Amino acid sequence: MIAGPEDIAEAVDRLKRGQLVAFPTETVYGLGADALNAQAVRRVFEVKGRPANNPLIVHVSDPDMARPLVVNWPRQAEDLARAFWPGPLSILLPKAARVPSEVTAGGPEVALRCPDHPTALALIEAFGGPLVGPSANLSGHVSPTTASHVRESFSAEDVFVLDGGACTRGIESTVVALGGTPRVLRPGIISAGQIGEVLGCDVAPYAPVAPDGEAFARAPGQQTTHYAPRCPAWIVTPETIEPAARELSPAVLLAILDTRERPGVKVIRLPGEDLTYAAGLYRALREADAMSPRAILIEAPPGDTDIWRAIWDRLTRAARRFGG
Ligand code: TXA
Ligand code: MG
Burial of 207 (0-12, 13-18, 19+ CB in 10 A): middle
Q: Whose CA is nearest to atom 10 of ligand 1?
A: 134
Q: Whose CA is nearest to atom 13 of ligand 1?
A: 134
Tell me, using a 6 A CB cutoff, whether residue 135 lines ligand 1: yes
Give me the pLDDT at residue 37, please: 98
Query: For 179, how many CA atoms within 13 A lie in the half-sphere containing its CB?
Result: 8
Give me the pLDDT at residue 259, please: 93
Ligand nearest the Cα atom of residue 141: 2
How far, in Å, are 226, 261, 296 from residue 268 at the CA level? 22, 10, 10
Give me the pLDDT at residue 220, please: 60
- What is the rounded CA–CA span in Å between residue 183 and residue 248? 40
Give me the pLDDT at residue 215, please: 46
How many residues in the chain?
A: 324
Q: Whose CA is nearest to atom 31 of ligand 1?
A: 219
Residue in 123, 175, 178 to alter for ligand 1 test, most ligand atoms within 8 A of Cβ: 175
Phi, psi of 92 (to 5 degrees): -95, 125
Give me the pLDDT at residue 229, please: 86
Ligand 1 atom nearest to 219, measured from its CA: 32
| pLDDT < 50: residue spans in the chain | 211, 213, 215-217
Query: For 46, how many CA atoms within 13 A lie in the half-sphere containing its CB?
Result: 11
Tell me, using a 6 A CB cutoff, whether residue 32 lines ligand 1: no
Tell me, using a 6 A CB cutoff, whether residue 41 lines ligand 1: no
> What is the DSSP pairing of strand 131-132 with strand 57-59?
antiparallel
Ligand 1 atom nearest to 111, measured from its CA: 26
Ligand nearest the Cα atom of residue 142: 2
- What is the rounded CA–CA span in Å between residue 72 and residue 159? 34
Give me the pLDDT at residue 185, please: 97
Closest CA to 149 of 141, 74, 157, 271: 141
For the four alpha carbons of 305, 311, 317 and 321, in that order, the dihedral sign comes to negative
Phi, psi of 244 (to 5 degrees): -65, -45
Angle at 192 between CA 141 and CA 63, to 5 degrees: 80
